[in-house]
């Protein structure tokens, strides 16, 4: 997602030309603080940690064990082999009348010790089982007997009815890869995009790094991995996100689309209620392998607070209101009464009161939120004055559960101009008008005047699958559970006893008026420079790809390589984000999709002398290579996060490394990400296509690059979101979109031609069209224009 831009742009304020390459006290202190932060997170949720800490056991299992010991003692059996007698001797002697009480206490202490030992054994066994990644490295669609045995053991040790955080204590820690392997993989990844001279120079820097510096930096990373929960994630959050001084708008936010409004706020608050009670089930791969749930903690009640040198994330345990923005005015809307959460109809009533409020915005209030889109140093300084002059209003916004923007303009797909309307919809969600989003909030719900809605999500606190999970629940609940009355209103009755929404008043000092004007000018410039293009590809989808026993993600990635080459006439470093949540507090890793195998396939597709079978064979090799890289990244053996952590250590030690500087200076001209659909059971894409989220997008990572995201909508549609900068003469989002459509049809034609030749070889009649046939298309031709239903 937007992390690619942040990964390129971060500049740690730790560099110095001097310093001793020894055991660094600041480095050791940073490792100590990383571990301390990990332990504080665990202690902040004591009761939930207790319930999840004993999982897969439960508090009732202790009672069962204690009762069994008491029964055995009553039958004159000693399951403790004399240990309970030893415990009784250590207890105070309260006299003969309390002899039985001492026996009960001894049995309780023995039961507790035995129970704790059993839980510890289960945790160790489950952690060892979850450390096995052989299942991930197997060929696509294959399951060995070893993996089947592993799945059976995981099922036995995983327990029943897990809560959201039940598996956290059993997740393995992310391993630190071998530095030799990481450097080797890095050199392999840059070979296709470097000239022979540049590659030889880079390889020489790599050899010097391995010989002089790698072992020391690696030692510190190993030390951190033993002490902290994750050797890279906290640094990734701090240096890539919180220390970035760039505007959050476009650079560190992404958006998600949907088709309806109304009950959305109530559905979001229902999700928060379930989250607080840990009633959300943990995400399981293959229905068995749990992923880390740590990022869910900061979805709600969270704000990124600007600082002069570094931001920090402020998370409240609870918040009973949302902040609402409409026509330049801010409101505080309570979400609860003494009897509980407001009904959907009551919330609709409160929002309607805001829409009907005729009061105008105060001077400069309308554009105040543009400050959250300003460079972070500037916003931090202005916020100090704002906190003094308008503390109550600022606290109401920053302390809200989330931010709601009631836009005065319509958005979404229109029949008159479907292509342009989708592009405008995406742009409105990503950037808006520059002053109608509070970009510091963890997410903002944007409701347009025609009822369409979407999310704008700040990236530092979590990654896309977390907010995506919440969004899927929200859409399904809003559409299929809450519903609407026949007159279009939310179901239920208004509550006229509710107080009016509280209008927030800002006492803005004169000295920040200029800052607001400058921030607004910068936000409008940044917003106006973004070129967004959204298009649904409906010629085929996931079902067609899976028919050929291929990974749908790898299929798209290879098509993107072909499309980019046709667009720019060259290859580039490609950033594909994948998750590392198989590990405790894991976040993301980069898959470098532009491989030598991918380049060979693209060159063959552009070579008219290459036959379709030759291209098809090269395509399968490229897909296999991509799958190998993807699985290695997911299993903690990627390249970029390890090199990033090594770079951070080198900065703490004031140790200059030309190789790591070279890695850090790389530009990602093609940043890509798949939007996962995680709760397929919530939607019937065939019966209710209008209720399925059409995904989301993010800004480009480079001024002359593209940001591309895609989502598989059901089995037959793939929606692409493309962004670039209008200021670049090298990029055009619509042009790349056409290349992507052509590339997908070209690749699909290879498989259909292969199938036709196979049928001909078997003597079958191939004159008819199969149910998976595509529009008539030959390699390198332009796709026919067809109407799509979106």
Residues acting as catalytic residues: 459
Q: Which residue is it, tokens 């899927």? A: 472
What H or E segment, with its residue span, contains residue 315? Answer: strand 312-315
Identify the bridge partners of residue 461 per DSSP, sorted by sequence position. none
State the Cα–Cα distance between residues 390 and 766, nearest whole angstrom: 74
* CA dihedral of residues 93, 96, 98, 102 (deg, nearest 10): 50
State the Cα–Cα distance between residues 137 and 635, nearest whole angstrom: 9
- Please state at what angle helix 596-605 crosses helix 552-568, rounded to 10 degrees: 60
Phi then psi dihedrals of residue 86, to 5 deg? -60, -40
763: left (phi over 0), alpha (psi -120 to 50) or beta: left
Instruction: Identify the CA nearest to 522 among candidates 661, 631, 382.
Output: 382
> How long, in residues, is the chain?
790
Instruction: Identify the CA nearest to 453 among candidates 605, 699, 255, 301.
Output: 255
* CA dihedral of residues 504, 509, 511, 514 (deg, nearest 10): 30
* Joined tokens for residue 286: 């293959």
What H or E segment, with its residue span, contains residue 269? Answer: helix 264-276
* Joined tokens for residue 12: 């740690």
| Rg, the chain, Cα only | 29
Sign, CA dihedral 229-231-232-237, equals positive
State the Cα–Cα distance between residues 229 and 174, nearest whole angstrom: 8
Instruction: Identify the CA nearest to 304 among candidates 406, 373, 236, 254.
Output: 373
Within a 10 A sphere around the Cβ of 303, how many other Cβ atoms? 25
Q: Which residue is it, tokens 């309260």? A: 94
Within a 10 A sphere around the Cβ of 113, how many other Cβ atoms? 13
Residues 6+ apart with CB under 8 A from 437: 249, 325, 369, 372, 373, 403, 405, 444, 446, 456
State the Cα–Cα distance between residues 301 and 314, nearest whole angstrom: 8
Instruction: Identify the CA nearest to 297 among candidates 645, 609, 49.
Output: 49
Edge to edge, what strands does the sheet with 530-537 contain?
Answer: 530-537, 717-725, 706-713, 670-674, 574-579, 588-592
Phi then psi dihedrals of residue 166, to 5 deg? -65, -35
- The DSSP string of 66-134 is HHHHHHHHHTT--TTTTHHHHHHHHS----GGGHHHHHHHHHHHHHHHHHHHHHHHHHHHHHHHHT--T
Sign, CA dihedral 11-587-429-669, equals positive
State the Cα–Cα distance between residues 646 and 640, nearest whole angstrom: 10
Residue 401 · residue 272 · CB < 8 Å = yes
Instruction: Identify the CA nearest to 530 among candidates 424, 375, 406.
Output: 424
* Joined tokens for residue 600: 């060979």
Instruction: Identify the CA nearest to 258 among candidates 447, 539, 515, 35.
Output: 447
Burial class of 195 by CB neighbour count within 10 A (0 to 12, 13 to 18, 19+): exposed
* Joined tokens for residue 631: 């699985």
* Joined tokens for residue 320: 């009973």
- In terms of DSSP bridges, do strands 253-257 and 696-698 run parallel, antiparallel, or are they unpaired? antiparallel
State the Cα–Cα distance between residues 514 and 481, nearest whole angstrom: 48
């Amino acid at each position: 997602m937007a992390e690619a831009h942040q990964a390129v742009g971060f500049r740690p304020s730790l560099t110095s030309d001097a310093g001793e390459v020894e055991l660094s006290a600041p480095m050791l202190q940073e490792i100590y603080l990383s571990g301390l932060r990990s332990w504080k997170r665990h202690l902040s949720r004591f009761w939930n940690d207790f319930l999840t800490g004993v999982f897969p056991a439960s508090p009732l299992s202790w009672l069962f064990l204690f009762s069994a010991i008491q029964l055995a003692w009553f039958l004159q059996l000693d399951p403790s082999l004399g240990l309970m007698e030893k415990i009784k001797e250590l207890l105070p002697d309260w006299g003969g009348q309390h002899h039985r009480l001492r026996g009960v206490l001894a049995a309780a202490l023995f039961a507790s010790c035995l129970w704790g030992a059993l839980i510890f054994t289960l945790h160790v066994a489950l952690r060892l089982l979850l450390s096995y990644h052989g299942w991930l490295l197997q060929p696509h669609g294959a399951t060995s007997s070893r993996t089947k045995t592993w799945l059976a053991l995981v099922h036995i040790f995983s327990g029943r009815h897990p809560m959201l955080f039940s598996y956290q204590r059993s997740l393995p820690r992310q391993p630190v890869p071998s530095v030799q392997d990481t450097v080797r993989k890095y050199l392999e990844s840059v070979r296709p995009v470097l000239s022979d001279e540049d590659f030889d120079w880079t390889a020489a820097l790599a050899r010097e790094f391995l010989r002089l510096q790698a072992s020391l930096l690696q030692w510190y990373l190993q030390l951190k991995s033993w002490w902290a929960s994750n050797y890279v994630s906290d640094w990734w959050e701090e240096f890539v996100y919180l220390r970035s001084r760039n505007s959050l708008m476009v650079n560190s936010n992404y958006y998600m689309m949907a088709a309806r409004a109304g009950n959305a706020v109530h559905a979001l608050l229902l999700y928060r209620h379930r989250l607080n009670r840990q009633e959300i089930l943990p995400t399981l791969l293959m229905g068995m392998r749990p992923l880390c749930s740590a990022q869910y903690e900061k979805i709600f009640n969270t704000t990124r607070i600007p600082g002069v040198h570094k931001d920090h994330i402020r998370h409240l345990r609870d918040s009973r209101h949302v902040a609402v923005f409409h026509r330049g005015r801010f409101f505080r809307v309570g979400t609860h009464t003494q009897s509980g959460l407001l009904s959907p109809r009551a919330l609709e009533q409160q929002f309607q009161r805001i829409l009907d409020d005729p009061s105008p915005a105060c001077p400069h209030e309308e554009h105040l939120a543009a400050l959250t889109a300003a460079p972070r140093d500037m916003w931090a300084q202005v916020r100090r004055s704002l906190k003094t002059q308008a503390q109550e209003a600022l606290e109401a916004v920053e302390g809200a559960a989330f931010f709601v923007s009631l836009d005065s303009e319509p958005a979404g797909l229109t029949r008159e101009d479907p292509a342009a309307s989708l592009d405008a919809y995406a742009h409105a969600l990503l950037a808006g008008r520059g002053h109608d989003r509070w970009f510091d909030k963890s997410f903002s719900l944007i409701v347009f005047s025609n009822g369409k809605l979407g999310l704008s999500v700040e990236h530092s606190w979590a990654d896309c699958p977390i907010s995506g999970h919440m969004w899927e629940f929200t859409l399904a609940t809003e559409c299929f559970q809450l519903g609407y009355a026949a007159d279009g209103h939310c179901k239920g009755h208004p509550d006229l006893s509710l107080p009016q929404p509280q209008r927030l008043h800002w006492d803005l000092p004169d000295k920040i008026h200029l800052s607001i004007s400058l921030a607004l000018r910068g936000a409008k410039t940044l917003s106006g420079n973004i070129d967004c293009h959204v298009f649904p590809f409906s010629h085929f989808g996931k079902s067609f790809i899976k028919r050929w026993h291929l990974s749908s993600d790898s299929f798209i990635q290879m098509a993107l390589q072909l499309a980019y080459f046709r667009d720019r006439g060259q290859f580039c470093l490609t950033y594909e984000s994948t998750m590392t949540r198989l590990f405790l507090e894991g976040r993301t890793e980069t898959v470098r999709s532009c491989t030598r195998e991918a380049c060979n396939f693209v060159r063959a597709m552009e070579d008219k002398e290459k036959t379709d079978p030759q291209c098809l064979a090269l395509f399968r090799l490229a897909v296999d290579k991509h799958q190998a890289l993807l699985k290695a990244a997911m299993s903690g053996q990627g390249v970029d996060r390890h090199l990033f952590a090594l770079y951070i250590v080198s900065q703490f030690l004031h140790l200059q490394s030309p190789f790591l500087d070279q890695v850090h200076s790389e530009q990602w001209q093609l940043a890509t990400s798949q939007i996962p659909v995680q709760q397929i059971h919530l939607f019937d894409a065939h019966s209710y296509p209008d209720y399925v989220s059409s995904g989301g997008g993010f800004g480009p990572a480079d001024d002359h690059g593209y940001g591309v995201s895609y989502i598989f909508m059901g089995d037959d549609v793939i929606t692409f979101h493309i962004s670039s900068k209008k200021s670049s003469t090298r990029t055009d989002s619509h042009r790349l979109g056409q290349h992507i459509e052509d590339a997908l049809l070209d690749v699909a034609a290879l498989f259909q031609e292969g199938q036709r030749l196979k049928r001909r070889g078997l003597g079958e009649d191939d004159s008819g069209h199969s149910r998976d046939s595509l529009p008539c298309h030959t390699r390198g031709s332009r796709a026919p224009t067809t109407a799509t239903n979106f």
